[in-house]
Amino acid sequence: MSLLIRNARLLTLAAPANAAAPVTPVRARAGAAMRELGIIPRGDVLVQGDKIIAVGAGLTAPEGATVIDAEGRVLMPGFVDCHTHACWAGNRLDEWDKILAGTNPTELTKLGGGIHSTVRAVRDSTRKQLAAWLRTRLDAMLRAGTTTVEVKSGYGLNLDGELKLLHAIQRGASEWPGTVVPTALLGHAIESDVATYTRNIVREVLPAIWHEFPGIAVEASCEEHTWPVEACVRLLERARKHGLPISVQTDRDKSLGMIPEAINLHARSVSHLAGASKADLIALAASETIAVMLPATSFHTRGRYARAGAFVDSGGRLALASNYNPGTAPGHSMPFVIALAVRHAGLSVAEAITATTANAAAALGLTDRGTIEAGRRADLLVLNHTDERALANEFGGNPVDIVICGGRRIG
């Protein structure tokens, strides 16, 4: 099946001179390179099967090809949401009422709310139910332009619960046209004393997970009173010894000392970072590790925003993600993430687009998407707009008119 999209304003995220040439694997762009969108003011993209086969001007449609006339509107890579917790059960609306009335979220967690309320709901649900709820969320994300999404476990907290979540993620993704990348978030909350619980996760749960899901990425969330730095390091060191990709969540509110450890461990990404120190961000910017910042979480929790613009100016590799979850970021819209990052985190529109496409793909270890070049996976968006800056300027609606996922027009 062939598809030709013509007369588009192309954001290739590659130099225009190289747009139709053989390509190397997608790698994260750093610093000033994040501002280069490789724009072709008026061009065409030819798709065969699930791959882009040509990019340029005046391309000819093969016999029988479907032709879409973009009429000068923006054609860009599909969004890659590289940090979500989109597989969950229940909701936290009652807790949100209490937070709006002034209750401290930390106090709710101590009383069994927060993550623990979602854990109970997950344990009370079947794998089939979890998969169905996830599929509904994935479909909504696709309509808003997200064609690749990472989905974490982490609401199981024991072996049975984590396996149930990972199998539900696998099942929910099985017939979805986009790409789901599962992550085993094994260092999340705790259910007994810190030493006993974290030791059990490292010695018992981790080996069972990697045998059931070979090659799966493993993540730890560093928190003062749950998973401290030392426990996170033990978990990630063991995962890395078995060849598993690793990632870290840390420094939501203040610097905890986990960023230097993540750099030393060659973590693929470090996320959150609103409370990271200037020195740690400079060190992170000098490393190969990708920073993943989550402005929708800052918006929903009325917290401070991570210093994304300063990080990029320091030469860092930055991705943006939704952190879609029932508690701290109940929203999946990547255009809204872009709007927040440009308004509150110091990014330019071009930097935010790169951070939600090519760099977000690199944060997941994916090298075949995030740019519009021959040989890439054909995950493409036609916007309602002729100017990409409208992605950040407008908010509250869906700027995506046409979604092409794996070479297929959706909807």
Whether residue 269 is found in the same domain as residue 181: yes
Helix ranges, 201-333 (H): 206-212, 229-241, 258-264, 278-285, 295-301, 308-313
pLDDT tens digit sequence for 67-117? 999 999 999 999 999 999 999 999 999 999 999 999 988 887 777 778 999
111 and 60 belong to one structural domain: no
Looking at the fold, whether 286 and 193 belong to one and the same domain comes out as yes
Per residue in 153-166, pLDDT (tens digit) is: 999 999 999 999 99
pLDDT digits 0-9 by tens, 241-250: 999 999 999 9
Q: Tell me, what CATH number does 306's domain have?
A: 3.20.20.140
Nearest CA to 249 out of 150, 333, 160, 357 is that of 150
Handedness of CA 15, 19, 25, 28 (dihedral sign): positive
DSSP letter for 115, please. Answer: H
DSSP secondary structure letter of residue 57: S
Q: How, if at all, do strands 217-221 and 246-250 pair?
A: parallel
Q: What is the pLDDT of residues 331-354, one digit of tens each?
A: 999 999 999 999 999 999 999 999
DSSP SS3 for 348:
coil
pLDDT tens per residue, range 367-386? 999 999 999 999 999 999 99
Residue 100 CB: number of other CB atoms within 10 A?
A: 8
Residues 56 and 72 in one domain: yes
Let me know whether 354 and 205 are in one domain. yes
Of 325, 347, 363, the residue that ends a domain is 363
Same domain, 311 and 197: yes
| 39 and 125 assigned to the same domain | no
Domain count, the chain: 2
* 233 and 271 within one domain: yes
Tell me the pTM: 0.97
In a shared domain, residues 146 and 93: yes
Domain that holds residue 388: 2-77+368-410
Q: Tokens for 152, please give them.
A: 């974490």
Same domain flag for 353 and 390: no
What is the three-class DSSP state of 257?
Answer: coil
404 and 332 in a single domain? The answer is no
pLDDT of residue 334: 98
Extract the tokens encoding 236: 């990630």
Per-residue confidence (pLDDT) for residue 113, from 0 to 100: 78
Contact between 339 and 322 under an 8 Å Cβ cutoff? The reply is no
Domain holding 44: CATH number? 2.30.40.10
57 shares a domain with 93: no
